[in-house]
């Protein structure tokens, strides 16, 4: 690896890497505790699931917001605002006395976490270019991908040790340390401040959103990622409440799903060199539709099979990791000179879409594998329709 990568701005980049897991870990770290939150706050499964759905919505909106304002007020101020909001809202989650407060606090927590989700890319572009930037991005992608794998395992042990609130206290401490790092050690990396221009931002966004490759790719990524969120949203209640397993057991099951996602992303590097992207996207989309439909029928025969749950979830996780590089390349190809705005629009479209669909899914009361199969079938249908939209239709 290039020696300059370590010697130039290494402290600033180390701070960024420290904060990168925030957005993903905040989704997954308390997933093993969701059944206990239902009991602890005397609420329902669907309302607890809303704590993830609203987090996703604000995470998407926040990425668009920080991407725009960081060019005007700077990366450091934007990141400090976001991490301070994340810290305060994490404490609010910890002290929540009812589910309504927890849902509201989670919304603002997502808004804060969005800062590092988008600014990690912006700061990297400020610091590096060329091959060194690619290497920096690879490190960010690696840590971002590992975070949701290990977070449920950590969360399961935290829940067993100190209850469901402890995960939020750990996130608050994480956010507080991040704020200190930004204040004490991080200089401003944006050397070209720009006046905030809402008209330009809106015009550019509309230009991007009208592109079928961007919208199709974004929707497929959002939908296949939703396959991961289905496991996070619904599997804790099946595994712990219905099947009687522990929160730690669920954490390790989530670890397996995350590892399969990483495997898919790794194998995609081989497929990119040997297969046409259109054929891969078409084939995998059809496969997910088929798996989703088949799972509905099988779930009626084996309504409490953890093996079917893990197999189906693994296939969706693998497909999500496998398709991601193909779709990102297709998404950015028409917009080489406005990559920042493409990233901002990707964030708001993908996470808002995932948040809305997850709200719909939260209305399914989990009594067996059947309800989870409905959710995966919906994911398969939307993925297939998004693929058809991308390949068949054009905006006029």
- Exposure of 307 by Cβ count < 10 A (0-12 exposed, 13-18 middle, 19+ buried)? exposed
Give the pLDDT band (50/70/90) at residue 5: very low
Residue 338 DSSP SS3: coil
Quote the pLDDT of residue 10.
79
Residue count of the chain: 396
Q: State how far the alpha carbon of 210 is from the alpha carbons of 18, 67, 124, 394, in Å.
A: 36, 20, 28, 9
For 113-164, the pLDDT digits (tens) are 998 888 887 787 777 776 676 677 667 777 777 788 888 999 999 999 999 9
Q: State how far the alpha carbon of 4 is from the alpha carbons of 10, 185, 187, 214, 279, in Å.
A: 9, 20, 19, 34, 39
Q: Which of 9, 16, 14, 1 is nearest to 128 (CA)?
A: 9
For 161-180, the pLDDT digits (tens) are 999 999 999 999 999 999 99
Contact 66, 196 (CB under 8 A): no
For 100-116, the pLDDT digits (tens) are 999 999 999 999 999 88
Exposure string over 52-74, b if 16+ CB within 10 A, otherwise e = bbbbbbbbbbbbbbbbbebbeeb
For 245-303, the pLDDT digits (tens) are 998 998 899 889 888 888 888 888 778 777 787 888 889 999 999 999 999 999 999 99
pTM value? 0.83
CA torsion through residues 389, 394, 395, 396, sign: negative
CA torsion through residues 9, 10, 16, 19, sign: negative
DSSP string, 179-201: HHHHHHHPPP---S-----HHHH
Give the pLDDT band (50/70/90) at residue 394: very low
User: If you average pLDDT over residues 316-336, what whole number do you get?
Assistant: 79
Mean pLDDT (the chain, rounded): 85
Contact 60, 184 (CB under 8 A): no
């Amino acid at each position: 690896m290039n020696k300059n990568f370590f010697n130039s701005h290494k402290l600033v980049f180390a701070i960024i890497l420290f904060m990168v897991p925030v957005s993903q870990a905040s989704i997954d770290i308390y997933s093993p505790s969701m059944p206990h939150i239902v009991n602890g706050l005397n609420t329902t499964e669907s309302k607890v699931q809303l704590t993830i759905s609203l987090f996703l919505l604000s995470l998407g909106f926040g990425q668009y917001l920080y991407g725009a304002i960081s060019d005007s007020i700077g990366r450091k101020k934007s990141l400090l605002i976001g991490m301070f909001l994340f810290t305060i809202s994490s404490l609010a989650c910890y002290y929540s006395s009812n589910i309504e407060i927890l849902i509201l606090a989670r919304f603002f927590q997502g808004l804060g976490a969005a800062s590092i989700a988008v600014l990690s890319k912006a700061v990297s572009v400020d610091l590096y270019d060329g091959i060194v930037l690619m290497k920096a991005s690879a490190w960010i992608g690696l840590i971002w991908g590992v975070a949701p794998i290990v977070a449920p395992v950590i969360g399961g042990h935290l829940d067993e040790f100190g209850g469901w609130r402890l995960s939020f206290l750990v996130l608050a401490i994480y956010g507080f340390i991040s704020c200190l790092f930004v204040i004490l050690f991080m200089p401003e990396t944006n050397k070209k401040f720009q006046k905030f221009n809402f008209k330009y931002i809106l015009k550019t966004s509309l230009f991007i959103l009208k592109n079928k490759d961007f919208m199709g790719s974004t929707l497929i990524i959002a939908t296949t990622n939703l396959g991961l969120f289905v496991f996070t949203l619904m599997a804790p209640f099946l595994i712990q409440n219905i099947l009687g397993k522990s929160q730690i057991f669920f954490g390790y099951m989530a670890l397996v799903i995350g590892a399969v996602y990483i495997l898919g992303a790794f194998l995609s590097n081989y497929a990119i060199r040997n297969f046409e992207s259109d054929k891969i996207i078409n084939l995998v989309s059809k496969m997910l539709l088929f798996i989703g439909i088949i799972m509905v029928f099988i779930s009626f025969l084996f309504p409490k099979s953890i093996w079917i749950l893990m197999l189906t979830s693994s296939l969706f996780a693998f497909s999500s990791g496998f398709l991601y590089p193909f779709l990102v390349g297709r998404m950015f190809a028409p917009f080489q000179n406005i990559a920042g705005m493409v990233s901002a629009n990707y964030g708001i479209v993908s996470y808002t879409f995932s948040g809305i669909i997850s709200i719909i899914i939260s209305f399914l009361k989990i009594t067996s594998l059947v309800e989870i199969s409905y959710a995966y079938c919906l994911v398969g249908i939307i993925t297939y329709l998004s693929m058809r939209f991308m390949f068949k239709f054009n905006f006029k």
